[in-house]
Amino acid sequence: MTGVSGPVRSDLFFRTLRFRPVAMHMSLRTLSLALAGLALTACAKKADTESAPPETAADVAAGPEDIDALEAQLAAREDQLRALGAPPPEMRMEAAKRAEHEDGDALAGAGDAKTKTEAQTAHGPAPSSAPTQPGTSPRRCESVCDITTSICQLRDHICDLAPRHDDEPRYQRACERATTDCEFATEACHACS
Amino acid sequence: MTRHTWIATLLGVVVGAGVMLAGLAQAGRLAPAPRPEVLVTLAQTVDAEHRRVDLLLKRRDYAGAIAALEQMRTVAWPEAAVAGDAAAVLRHDVYGRLVRLRLDHPEVDPKTPDALAELVGEGLGADYKAIATNAFTARLVGLRGEIAEKQGRDGDALVAYEEALDMNRALLHQALGSSP
């Protein structure tokens, strides 16, 4: 590799260019075609990569016959999913429980029950207008209800600000919008579960 | 070789190179190539740390939990170029948990609201808005609002809450398979 791009080789390159223009012309055309071909290959390679699941060291190490290996493989997959921002449902459940636990601690510590949202407290029958999904899975419901909790907590925060800013309509508007969001999400959660 | 031929040749090279660059860029070769092994290692590290924090919280050792998460701040979080956006999402998760604990347990190693705001900024990073909407980033943005409130900056708090609300709204519609 060394010397390929050095001054001597460059000089030789230009001399070759000067004295063999036709050959150079041909080689440049060939190069262009080769580059285009490479680009197509790269695109094709990308398609392969996207359709195939990512491999991990656990995949390589684990044979399908060994239950321990399968478990390790599963754990690795879960890690991958978690890493990609899409934790498996079990992890989401754990995360939700974790959040609840932490929130619970916070509530116990602060003695403030206000952040307990409608999604957590209301237990009425699902309204007929609630957005339902045919074939909705419990996992999806869990996700919807987790998001509902977050939305309604944000509603609480926003609406707590509004009374302190009576003269600024944007606070009131934000509160109304957040309340609508919370109601919609709560309906969705109830319709789901 | 005529001038015309030279121009044609040059054009051929430029077009060929252009097509190659476009192809490579589309294939993700020129974009900083994420390294899955770095991401998986990071995810495993973070997961192990979360489990440790879970145990500490179970024992109501809030100081220990906060210290463990503080330790995670010293991790050399890989750039998006190395581990992709998912690394930033993992960071948002860790920082979100840390900030939540710090807000809920101000008696442990107390921090000023300004220091907490700095912590959130550090966790979010400069380009968090470029990351695909996810629950962890939304939570950290919402926490930014809580801290702004503590700083007496209600206007900024409202902006942060609304931003977090927008993210959660998008996530909800995503989960419901509907459009906002």
State the smallest CA–CA distance between residue A8 and chain B in angstroms.
Answer: 23
Question: Would the CB atoms of B20 and A36 count as touching at under 8 Å?
Answer: yes
Is there a single domain that holds both residue B91 and residue B171? Answer: yes
Angle between helices A67-83 and A89-110 (to 10 degrees): 60
Residue found by looking up tokens 């321990």 in the block: A68
Query: Is A88 strand, coil or helix?
Result: coil
pLDDT band (50, 70, 90) for residue A193? confident
Q: How far apart are CA A179 and CA B142, in angstroms?
A: 16
Q: What is the DSSP letter of B153?
A: -
Confirm or reject contact between A79 and chain B (CB < 8 A): yes
CA dihedral A14, A20, A22, A24 (to 10 degrees): -40
**Residue A182: inside a domain:** yes
Residues B52 and B1 in one domain: no
Report yes or no: A175 and A169 within 8 Å, Cβ to Cβ. no
CB-nearest to B19 from A35, A98, A165 is A35
Does residue B31 belong to the interface with chain A, where contact is any CB pair within 8 Å? no
> In the predicted model, is pLDDT for residue B165 greater than 90?
yes
Whether residues B75 and B131 fall in one domain: yes
Given a cut of 60, whether residue A145 has pLDDT beyond it is yes
Residues of chain B numbered 70-99 and touching chain A (CB < 8 Å):
85-87, 89-90, 97
- Whether residues B48 and B86 share a domain: the answer is yes
B12 and B51 share a domain?
no
Q: How far is A166 from chain B (nearest CA, A)?
A: 13
Inter-chain touch B57–A140, beta carbons under 8 Å:
no
Would you give the distance in Å from CA B21 to the centre of its chain? Answer: 29
Q: Are B131 and B89 in contact (CB under 8 A)?
A: yes
Does pLDDT of A75 surpass 60? no
- Would you call A114 an interface residue with chain B, using a CB distance cutoff of 8 Å? no
Report whether pLDDT(B130) > 50: yes
Residue B77 has pLDDT above 50, yes or no: yes
Residues B150 and B97 both lie in one domain: yes
Residue A183 pLDDT > 90? yes
Q: Which domain holds residue A149?
A: 114-193
Residues of chain A positioned with their CB less than 8 A from the CB of B27: 42-43, 45-46
- Stronger pLDDT, B58 or A100, i.e. the higher one: B58
Mean pLDDT of the A135-148 span: 85
Q: Which run of H or of E encompasses A156? A: helix A138-161
Q: Where are the beta strands (DSSP E) in A2-57?
A: none
Answer whether B52 touches A (CB < 8 Å). Answer: no
Residue A153 has pLDDT above 80, yes or no: yes
B110 and B160 in a common domain: yes
Phi-psi region of B31 (alpha: psi -120 to 50; beta: other; left: phi over 0): beta
Higher per-residue pLDDT: A12 or B46: B46
Average pLDDT value for chain B: 86
What is the mean pLDDT of the segment spanning A68-89? 48
Residues 6+ apart with CB under 8 A from B121: B144
Mutate to test the interface with A, among B172, B173, B174, B179 (most CBs of A within 10 A): B172
* A37-59 residue pLDDT tens: 434 344 333 333 333 333 322 23
Residues of chain A with Cβ-Cβ distance to B132 below 8 Å are 85
Q: Supply the mean pLDDT for chain A.
A: 56
- The percent of residues in chain B predicted with pLDDT above 70, rounded, is 80
pLDDT of B12 = 59
- Quick check: is A82 in a domain? no
pTM value surpassing 0.90: no
Determine, for residues A157 and B16 on separate chains, whether the beta-carbon distance falls below 8 Å: no
B168: chain A residues, CB-CB within 8 Å: 147, 150-151, 154, 181
Same domain, B83 and B136: yes
What are the start-end ranges of the H helices in chain B? 3-26, 36-58, 62-73, 80-83, 85-104, 113-124, 135-150, 154-176
- Least-confidence region, from A141-150, A158-167, B78-87: B78-87
Q: Is residue A191 part of a domain?
A: yes
B118 — contact with chain A (CB < 8 Å)? no
B144 plus B117 within the same structural domain: yes
Of B17, B40, B54, the CB nearest to A80: B40
Q: What is the C-alpha to C-alpha distance for residues A184 and A193, in angstroms, rounded to an integer? A: 14
| pLDDT above 70 for B173 | yes
> Do residues B50 and B19 share a domain?
no
Put simply, whether B154 touches A (Cβ < 8 Å) is: yes
Q: Which domain holds residue B9?
A: 1-31
In a domain, A127, yes or no: yes
pLDDT reported for residue B2: 61
B84/B140 Cα distance (integer angstroms): 19
Q: How far is CA B58 from the centre of its chain?
A: 27
Q: Provide the number of structural domains found in chain B.
A: 2
Q: What is the ipTM of this complex?
A: 0.79
Residue B163 has pLDDT above 70, yes or no: yes
Same domain, B54 and B129: yes
Chain B closest CA to A135's CA: distance in Å? Answer: 12
> Does the residue A142 lie in any domain?
yes
Residues B74 and B155 placed together within one structural domain of the fold: yes
Distance of residue A28 Cα from the nearest chain B Cα, in angstroms: 6
A108-131 tens-digit pLDDT: 333 333 333 333 333 333 333 334
pLDDT of residue A5: 35
* Confidence grade of residue B36 (pLDDT, cut at 50, 70, 90): confident
Domain count, chain A: 1
**Residue B85 is part of a domain; what is its CATH number?**
1.25.40.10
Q: Which of A102, A150, A158 sits opposite B158 (nearest CB)?
A: A158
**pLDDT at position B65 over 80:** yes
Q: Nearest Cα to B17, choosing from A23, A5, A33, A27?
A: A33
**pLDDT of B59 over the 70 cut:** yes
